Chain A
Amino acid sequence: MDVENVTALHQAPIASLQGRFSSIRTTLLSQILGRIGSGIIVLWAAITLSFISLHVAPGDIVSLLIGEQIRTPAIEAAIRAEWGLDEPLIKQYLSYLWRVLHGDFGRSYVLQTDVATLVLSQIWPTLKLTGAALVVAVVFAVVSAVATAGLRWPRRIAGGMELVLVSTPSFWLGIVLLFVFSFTLKLFPVAGDRNFAALVLPALSLGLSLGAVIGQVLREGLERALEEPFALTVRSWGANALTLRLRHGLRHAALPAVTLTGWLIGNLLSGAVITEQVFGRPGLGKITVDAVLGKDLPVVLAVAILSAFIYVVLSTLVDTLYLLLDPRLRART
Chain B
Amino acid sequence: MKIPFRQYFLPLIAAAGTTFAAGVTQAADATPVTGGALVWGVETDPATLNPQLNGQDKTKLLLRNVFESLLSRTADGGYVPWLANEYRISDDGKTYTFTLRDGVTFTDGEKLDAAAVVKNFTRLKDAAYSGSASAGPVSKVADAKALDAHTVELTLSEVYAPFLDFAASLEILSPKAFDSAQLKSGGTEIAGTGPFILKRYVKGQDIHFVKNAAYNWAPKTAAHQGPAYLDEVTYRFLPESSVRTGALSSGQVDVIEGISGNDAGLFKDNPDFTYQNALNTGTPYSLFLNVTYGPTQDVKVRKALLAAVDVDAVLKSVYRGERTRAWGITSPIDAQFYDKTIEGAYGTDPKLANQLLDEAGWSARDGEGFRTKDGKRLSIEIVQAQATVRDQRNVLLEAVQAQARQNAGIDLSVSYVDAGTYTDRRKTGQFGSIANSNTPTDAIDIEYHYLPIDQGGSINYSRASAPELLTWLKAAASTLDAKERFALYAKLQRFAIIEQAYALPLYEPEDQIAAASYVKGISFRQFKQLPESAYDIWRSE
Contact = CB atoms under 8 A, between A and B. Distances in A.
Given A58-B420, A58-B423, A64-B423, 6 more contacts: A58-B418, A70-B456, A178-B246, A179-B246, A282-B203, A282-B205
Nearest to A82: B128
Nearest to B45: A286
A293 B252 contact: no
B105 to A, nearest CB: 27
Contact of B252 (A63, A79, A189): A189
Interface in B487-520: none
Interface of B: 3, 5-6, 8-10, 12-13, 16, 41, 45, 47-48, 53, 55, 127-128, 131-136, 184-185, 202-206, 236-240, 242-243, 246-247, 249-252, 386-387, 418-424, 427, 438, 456, 458-459
A191 interface: yes
Contact of A64 (B16, B48, B419): B419
A60 B204 contact: no
B458 A69 contact: yes
A332 interface: no
Interface in A25-68: 57-60, 63-68
A187 B13 CA distance: 10
B421 A59 contact: yes
A79 B127 CA distance: 8
A190 interface: yes
Given A69-B458, A286-B204, A287-B204, A280 B10 contact: no
A221 interface: no
Best-buried of B127, B136, B438 by chain A (most CB within 10 Å): B127
B423 A280 contact: no
A283 B45 CA distance: 13
A184 interface: yes
23 contacts: A59-B419, A64-B419, A64-B423, A67-B419, A68-B459, A70-B458, A75-B127, A82-B128, A111-B47, A122-B204, A175-B240, A175-B242, A179-B246, A186-B9, A189-B5, A192-B236, A280-B205, A280-B238, A280-B240, A281-B204, A282-B205, A286-B45, A295-B419
A153 B8 CA distance: 38
A118 interface: yes
Interface of A: 57-60, 63-72, 74-75, 77-79, 81-82, 110-113, 118, 121-122, 125, 175, 178-179, 182-184, 186-197, 276-283, 286-287, 293-295
Nearest to B457: A70
Nearest to A187: B9
A79 B387 CA distance: 23
Contacts of A69: 55, 131-133, 458
Contacts of A125: 204-205
Contact of B247 (A63, A78, A190): A190
A304 B302 CA distance: 47
A75 B135 contact: yes
Contacts of B128: 78, 81-82
A295 B420 contact: yes
Given A68-B459, A72-B135, A280-B237, A57 B420 contact: yes
Contacts of A190: 238, 243, 246-247, 250, 252
A70 B386 CA distance: 21
Q: Which 6 A-B pairs have the closest CB atoms?
A: A59-B420, A69-B132, A282-B204, A112-B184, A78-B127, A183-B246
A70 B136 contact: yes
A190 B253 CA distance: 10
B203 A75 contact: no
Given A75-B127, A75-B134, A64 B458 contact: no
Nearest to B237: A280
A123 to B, nearest CB: 12
Contacts of B456: 70
Contacts of B249: 183
B460 to A, nearest CB: 11
A121 B458 contact: no
B8 A186 contact: yes
A326 B12 CA distance: 40
Contact of A187 (B8, B16, B423, B424): B8
A190 B13 CA distance: 13
A79 B250 CA distance: 46
B10 A197 contact: yes
Contacts of A196: 12
Nearest to A285: B204
A68 B458 contact: yes
Given A75-B134, A278-B240, A287-B203, A63 B10 contact: no
Given A64-B420, A112-B184, A189-B8, A118 B203 contact: yes
B488 to A, nearest CB: 22
Contact of B420 (A71, A194, A278, A293): A293
Nearest to B247: A190
A121 B205 CA distance: 12
B448 to A, nearest CB: 8
Contact of B243 (A58, A112, A178, A282): A178
Best-buried of B185, B205, B250, B459 by chain A (most CB within 10 Å): B205
Contacts of A184: 250
Contacts of B237: 280
